[in-house]
Amino acid sequence: MSTIPICQYDAEILSNRQIGPGLYWIDLLAPEISRHAQPGHFVHLIASDVSKDSSRQTWLRHTPLLRRPFSIAERDPEKGVFGLIYRIVGGGTEILATRREGERVDVLGPLGRTFEPIRAGRPVIMVAGGVGVAPFLSLAQETVRDGRSDPAEMTVLFGAATAGLLSGEEKFRQLGVDVKLATDDGTTGHHGLVTDMLERELARSPRQCAYLYACGPTPMMRRCQAIAREAGIDGQVSLEGIMPCGVGVCMACVVPCVIPGDRSSPRRYERVCDTGPVFDMEEVVL
């Protein structure tokens, strides 16, 4: 459980725009959340309009019912703003995409355990699948902003189904961080899996990676675990889970965990929202 205060904000939408096919970026004004957020944190928000000056019954304002979790992709603590990148997958995200500048979103955060910081002299690779890129945008931005490490010591391997879904890529380049792209359909970059690219990368220059981060679809992260294990590299993964509460009370979002390094140790269920979403790579059973 982090000691960073959890805030609930009626955050103003500063912008909410399409950045790719079914892919959106939203900027929310929420000074305290943006002040405290660290790379890896997520927020839990209500997609629909729940303003209280309404004669709609409470349950009707809350359709769909539950909050939706999204990783913080960027923040500007001076302006009090943070940004999210989201893909339309169902009702909640579709409704979020209809929300307009000036409207308000009820947002809870920052939530969860954050990434192990990047340190100078310890080069890292971040493997991102699709919208799994979001927390790495934060990680790279904060690391460069704090001057904790040289952008040259960070490599991002970014894979998606097709070129249009690689939005966010340019932000890494702006920071001076190297990005290598992969698409399933070959529309840009490596034609194939981002994890194949990771293997190639590690084979070519093993010393270039002292620590590995991964966030994306489960099969991708499972493969990253195996690759890291083989290469003897430590790392972290950022997981998803169905999250009714997002703050550790409901016990719904669990993932089986073992004692890192001892895969036959007794499993226990850990909450993704609270013990995670960032876990040591060898701790979780995917």
Ligand X SMILES: Cc1cc2nc3c(=O)[nH]c(=O)nc-3n(C[C@H](O)[C@H](O)[C@H](O)COP(=O)(O)OP(=O)(O)OC[C@H]3O[C@@H](n4cnc5c(N)ncnc54)[C@H](O)[C@@H]3O)c2cc1C
Does residue 286 belong to the site contacting a second copy (CB under 8 A)?
Answer: no
Taking the alpha carbons at both ends of the chain, their separation in whole angstroms is 22
Does residue 50 belong to the site contacting ligand FMN (CB under 6 A)?
Answer: no
Strand, helix or coil for residue 235: strand
Restricted to residues 57-96, the positions that interact with ligand X (CB under 6 A) are 64, 66, 68-71, 84-87, 89-93
CA–CA distances in Å: residue 230 to residues 86, 191, 233, 237, 282: 33, 24, 8, 16, 12
What order do you get walking across the sheet with 104-111 strand by strand? 68-71, 42-45, 104-111, 7-20, 23-29, 81-87, 74-76
CB of 156 to ligand FES, least distance (A): 28
Contact 242, 216 (CB under 8 A): no
- Find the binder of ligand FES among 66, 161, 163, 250 (CB under 6 A): 250
CB of 14 to ligand FMN, least distance (A): 34
x-marked contacts with ligand FMN along 181-210 as a string, rule CB under 6 A: ------------------------------
Strand, helix or coil for residue 281: coil
Q: Decide whether 55 or 264 has the Cβ nearer to a second copy.
A: 55
Does residue 284 belong to the site contacting ligand FES (CB under 6 A)?
Answer: no
- Find the binder of ligand X among 80, 83, 189, 277 (CB under 6 A): 277
Q: Which of 4, 27, 1 is CA-nearest to residue 14? A: 27
In sequence order, the 6+-apart residues with CB closer than 8 A to the CB of 245 are 252, 273
CB of 102 to a second copy, least distance (A): 15
C-alpha 25/C-alpha 134 separation (Å) is 10
Q: Decide whether 15 or 98 has the Cβ nearer to a second copy.
A: 98
Q: How many residues bind ligand FES (CB under 6 A)?
A: 13
Rg (CA), the chain: 19
CA dihedral 14, 238, 218, 206 (to 10 degrees): 120
What number of other Cβ atoms are within 10 A of residue 252's Cβ?
14
Which residues form the interface with a second copy (CB under 8 A)? 54-57, 60, 63-64, 88-91, 94-95
Which residues form the interface with ligand X (CB under 6 A)? 42, 64, 66, 68-71, 84-87, 89-93, 131, 134, 240-243, 277
Which residues form the interface with other proteins (CB under 8 A)? 1, 5-8, 46, 57-60, 62-67, 106, 108, 241-256, 264, 266-269, 274
Which residues form the interface with ligand FMN (CB under 6 A)? 244, 250, 252
